Chain A
């Protein structure tokens, strides 16, 4: 049986293609949001963030940053907030339209009582640092400290563009897993094109369950990252060539990475639980950036949540060891780092720019071919 939704109920706010229901709002009743916030709204409506039905109020916010739980005691580690400008004059009980910069409606919310957050407190409690060089902290500092709670009342259908056919809702994945007869499903979170080490991690997990849910995160990325198109196409190539037919579901998640390390690992688990997954792989430095988090801090934090409702599979880092002549981890291989086949992002980018591809011990040829054939495989 697939995992129960987080908090006991899968939130389902139907998304309407009829925009007339969003008419009649004045500029004073409208809050402008960006693309990433638009995707967040759609994720709440689809139940990816169940049991949330909108943006958090102050009591949930305080509970999350202090206790890592919603006020209802349900595990939750990163606040879901709607920052607003000081010019917004909406008050509790008002309805507000969320729309993008072109005025295209995204949703209607019922406003709660606005409140102020301390950005430094948020940064320290969620990211464990106040350093503005951290991308998640930097984003918090750039945003407003005034936030608007609000339950979603109506949501416009989100346009996922060229990724629409590879975007599934939790309702759809739950039914899909059931139709495939899967009782145990392991989720794999990624924001990268697959290397051999990813494949081995996935297959090690797949050996223990009925199915694998590969769920790449698409959204704002750093320069030098693989583009969304390349990530998706390279995974498709890997699955088509190296996985048993019917053993994998590949679907994307439109979500902006926070790089909150351990706290984000818990959120990744919660989201995949809502998709119906019973397990999730947590590897080295999951959702981390730079050296802000210990290499296995994202595994340690799971001990705090006996009631998470999704089981983590913890893995050490996989790599190709030249001396062993195969894939290994530091638990299975006695050799030093100098024997490991590894390429930095910079070296990998240069290799592809020079018309070369990495050796098959590092990346499957079919995957490398997808990257090599892309005109712009990396984010500029």
Chain B
């Protein structure tokens, strides 16, 4: 893989171009661009016994973790104030509260 020379801005590299795999993989994929230098670092990172087969696998794994972290920190309460009294009454009647 070509590395960016010092001072040269890394060109984006398409890492998710799995469109050709769509006939065997039902999941739809799209493309995301990352710098070539980052791709190279990630490739080196996963070359050990990490279990990741490709940079794409690794990036997907990490992004899922990040997205889940953000999604779970912005979830509103499931119940309204009118529900709360009704639920509390049942929980008290059953001895849970």
Contact = CB atoms under 8 A, between A and B. Distances in A.
Contact of B96 (A8, A10, A168, A171): A168
A124 interface: no
Interface stretch (B5-13, B15-23, B32-40, B59-67): B59-67
A328 to B, nearest CB: 30
Nearest to A307: B68
A4 interface: yes
B96 A4 contact: no
A374 B45 CA distance: 59
Contacts of B72: 3-4, 8, 309
Given A10-B78, A307-B64, A4 B71 contact: yes
A240 to B, nearest CB: 12
Given A8-B71, A175-B79, A306 B27 contact: no
Contacts of B3: none
B57 to A, nearest CB: 11
Contacts of A172: 87, 90-91
B68 A175 contact: no
Contacts of B88: 175, 179
A67 B68 contact: no
A12 B25 CA distance: 33
B93 to A, nearest CB: 9
30 contacts: A3-B72, A5-B78, A9-B75, A10-B78, A59-B26, A62-B26, A63-B26, A63-B27, A66-B25, A66-B26, A66-B27, A69-B27, A165-B94, A166-B94, A168-B91, A168-B96, A170-B78, A171-B79, A171-B83, A172-B87, A172-B90, A175-B79, A175-B87, A175-B88, A179-B88, A179-B91, A303-B51, A307-B64, A307-B67, A308-B68
Interface of A: 3-5, 8-10, 12, 47, 59, 62-63, 66-67, 69, 73, 165-166, 168, 170-172, 174-176, 179, 249, 303, 306-309
Given A175-B87, A179-B91, 11 more contacts: A4-B71, A47-B78, A66-B26, A73-B64, A166-B94, A171-B78, A176-B91, A249-B96, A307-B64, A307-B65, A307-B67
Interface of B: 25-27, 51, 61-62, 64-65, 67-68, 71-73, 75, 78-79, 83-84, 87-88, 90-91, 94, 96-97
